[in-house]
Amino acid sequence: ATPTALLVGTGRGAQLGILIKGPQVLESTRRVDTVLLDKTGTVTTGTMSLVSVHAADGVAEDDVLRLAGALEHAAEHPIARAIAAAATERFGDLPSVDEFRATEGLGVAGIVAGKAVVVGRDALLAEWGVRPAGDDTALAEARRAAEERGRTTVPVAWDGVVHGLLVVADTVKPEAARAVADLRALGLRPVLLTGDNAAAARAVAAEVGIDEVIAEVLPKDKVDTVARLQREGRAVAMVGDGVNDAAALAQADLGLAMGTGTDVAIEAGDLTLVRGDLGAAVDAIRLARRTLRTIK
């Protein structure tokens, strides 16, 4: 190989806002045929906002938001920030929390105002022995309607029962649909990979033109999804930003980390998209292909 062409490739990368860990990375880019895109923070901005608060019969909406907000105040997920910000704005000071525990990709739990509160996915609620929701039809209906519109729904439980539901919304990045179309034009297969619910994932996928969705994936299973596709003979690029994406980024043939994401993700990736711009993922793949053509 001609090292000069590789160096030109990496230098051009820096100009495009792409940091490449080493020239060997360009080589693995050539074989890539499938691009897994994390949803939150990668395809979407990851800046979430609270859309609505729903309470079960006989429960005050304020209690749902106050208890959930107090817990989420101690967490770092974009969902947590949205809920904590809304609660702080409405109530000012929030109750203090004991025995706080965050579970990556699932949610949070702790003692707030003497109550054992759990906020997060059904799987987390089940872990804490919370009875599944669904007996409250108004809550179930609010949830179904919100998820159909691409929103993330967060059940709120205390004393072993689901007492409310928070709905949060994220926005698709302005360049996402174009980037997906460009990936397709390069002959690549885009797949949306997310821990979020299937309906919300499908709605976001439809908005950006992705037709393959792998949803409700636990953080520890993201890496297995990459490995499974690889066993099926696919060469996989993974684009992600979160702590929960790090293992998958490392496992992928090509890991592209959002520069706007967490340090762990950036460390695990082969490439960093400095501005967190999905279009740069397309540029990176194009650049690698061009650079390698120059070498051959």
Following CA atoms 139, 143, 145, 149 in sequence, which dihedral angle do they give, to the nearest 10 degrees?
Answer: 160
Residue 77 binds: one of Mg ion, ligand ADP, none (C-beta under 5 to 8 A by kind): ligand ADP
- Residues 52-91, one symbol each (x = binds ligand ADP by CB under 6 A, - = not), give --------------------x--x-x-xx-----------
Ranges within 151-210 binding ligand ADP (CB under 6 A): 152, 154, 194-196
Q: Which of 41, 78, 107, 110 binds Mg ion (CB under 5 A)?
A: 41
Whether residue 38 lies in the annotated active site: yes
Whether 186 and 282 have beta carbons less than 8 Å apart is answered as yes
Tokens 């080589």 belong to 27
Q: Is 94 in the site for ligand ADP (CB under 6 A)?
A: no
Q: Which of 230, 247, 254, 249 is nearest to 28 (CA)?
A: 254
Q: Which of 73, 121, 173, 234 binds ligand ADP (CB under 6 A)?
A: 121
Residue 190 binds: one of ligand ADP, Mg ion, none (C-beta under 5 to 8 A by kind): none
For 221, residues 6+ apart whose C-beta sits below 8 A from its C-beta are none
Whether 32 and 289 have beta carbons less than 8 Å apart is answered as no
- Residues 204-243, one symbol each (x = binds ligand ADP by CB under 6 A, - = not), give ---------------x----------------------x-
Q: Which long-range contacts (CB under 8 A, 24 or more apart) does 226-231 make?
A: 226/36, 226/251, 226/252, 227/251, 229/34, 229/36
Catalytic residue among 33, 38, 62, 182: 38
Residue 280 binds: one of ligand ADP, Mg ion, none (C-beta under 5 to 8 A by kind): none
Give me the half-sphere count of Cα atoms (radius 13 Å) on the Cβ side of residue 162: 25
Least spacing, CB of residue 43 vs Mg ion, in Å? 9
Q: Is 26 in the site for ligand ADP (CB under 6 A)?
A: no
Distance CA 288, CA 116 (A): 52
Residue 117 binds: one of Mg ion, ligand ADP, none (C-beta under 5 to 8 A by kind): none
Q: Which of 69, 150, 242, 255 binds Mg ion (CB under 5 A)?
A: 242
Q: Nearer to Mg ion by C-beta: 105 or 110?
A: 105
Whether 41 and 204 have beta carbons less than 8 Å apart is answered as no
Report the SS3 class of residue 171.
coil
Q: Is 120 in the site for ligand ADP (CB under 6 A)?
A: yes
Q: Residue 271: how many CB atoms within 10 A of its CB? A: 29
Catalytic residues: 38
Q: Return residues touching ligand ADP (CB under 6 A).
A: 38-41, 72, 75, 77, 79-80, 105-108, 119-121, 152, 154, 194-196, 219, 242, 244
